[in-house]
Amino acid sequence: MPKRTSLTADRSSLGHRVRYAIRHPERIGPFLRRSARDLKLRLTHRDHVAYYRAVMASDAARDPRKAVGSHNEKRWLALGQMQFDYLVEEHGLKPGQRMLDIGCGNLRAGWRFIDYLDSGDYYGIDISPDILISAKKVLAERGLQDKLPHLTLTHDLTFDFLPRNHFDVVHAHSVFSHSPIEVIDEALGHVERILAPGGFFDFTFDRTEGNEHHVLREDFYYRTETLVALAQKHGLHAEFMEDWEELPHGQSKMRITVPRHGLGD
């Protein structure tokens, strides 16, 4: 797995921060400003989702593309294409299938799935009203109004408003990299109900092989075995996606499926 250089780093430790600051003195100012903002938002928002929604509002007000993690248009397009190609070219997503995109953001990948899938078969949910407004702009710019996607604000990942056995693919790209374990636990505890038979749930995560940690409660690093065990607790099967490791993306990917019962395999 050649692309990941710092799988054992604990970015929350003082030693790491000092070494990083010495290597990148130009980033000290922005980091301190972000720390001050995040502290203020943490003190004024009661739970993680409310806090992170406020982070997204602040980031989206400056630049919605940067808010979803792409520093320019070229990167925004490339990151969307990567997600699309992975599911369509490598893993057989077909028109006629239905997709739930958790944390759809401003449709970096979503607009491509909306274009490709049949009308109404893309469902995007997000905790941030600001980013969903930006998503609607992208939808209009791309002329995809007739595909009538669903774009819905959510506060939790219980999926209680969605139908049973409905989605062939549930997808969360760069969402659990910003989520405490309770949020992932909630999604894993409820995803089976909405997955169609044979469906799967793909999510990316920031992987560590050292101590699990977070930075400013914005970026969370998990060990693979923690997430596998969490899936197993909910009776689900988790597969680490080795083919995703070949792609130029800093996160790893996990695929969740429902084990078949009583079929002898």
Ligand X SMILES: C[S@@+](CC[C@H](N)C(=O)[O-])C[C@H]1O[C@@H](n2cnc3c(N)ncnc32)[C@H](O)[C@@H]1O
Note the residues at the interface with ligand X (CB under 6 A). Answer: 49, 52, 56, 68-69, 102-105, 108-109, 125-128, 131, 154, 157, 173-175, 178-179, 183
Q: Least CB distance from residue 124 to ligand X, whole Å?
A: 9
Nearer to ligand X, 104 or 231 (CB): 104
Q: For the stretch 232-250, what's the b/e string if a residue is b when 16 or more beta carbons lie within 10 angstroms of its beta carbon? A: eebebebeebeebbeeebe
Nearer to ligand X, 70 or 208 (CB): 70
Looking at the DSSP assignment, which residues form a beta bridge with residue 123? 100, 150
- In the three-class reduction of DSSP (H, G, I as helix; E, B as strand; rest coil), residue 263 is classed as coil
The answer to whether the beta carbons of residues 222 and 231 sit under 8 Å apart is no
Nearer to ligand X, 12 or 180 (CB): 180
Q: Least CB distance from residue 175 to ligand X, whole Å?
A: 4
Work out the burial of residue 212: count CB atoms within 10 Å of its CB; fewer than 13 is exposed, 13-18 middle, 19 or more buried. Answer: middle
How large is the C-alpha radius of gyration of the chain?
Answer: 18
Nearer to ligand X, 131 or 195 (CB): 131
Q: Least CB distance from residue 65 to ligand X, whole Å?
A: 9
d(CA 110, CA 101): 8
Work out the burial of residue 44: count CB atoms within 10 Å of its CB; fewer than 13 is exposed, 13-18 middle, 19 or more buried. Answer: exposed
Residue 248, token pair as written in the block = 């130029």
Nearer to ligand X, 52 or 86 (CB): 52
Q: Least CB distance from residue 108 to ligand X, whole Å?
A: 3
Q: Least CB distance from residue 190 to ligand X, whole Å?
A: 12
Q: What dihedral angle (degrees, nearest 10) is formed by the CA atoms of 22, 24, 29, 30? A: -140
The answer to whether the beta carbons of residues 194 and 172 sit under 8 Å apart is no
Q: Least CB distance from residue 48 to ligand X, whole Å?
A: 8
Nearer to ligand X, 178 or 253 (CB): 178
* Rounded (10°) angle between helices 129-141 and 48-62: 40
Nearer to ligand X, 52 or 205 (CB): 52
Q: Least CB distance from residue 13 to ligand X, whole Å?
A: 24
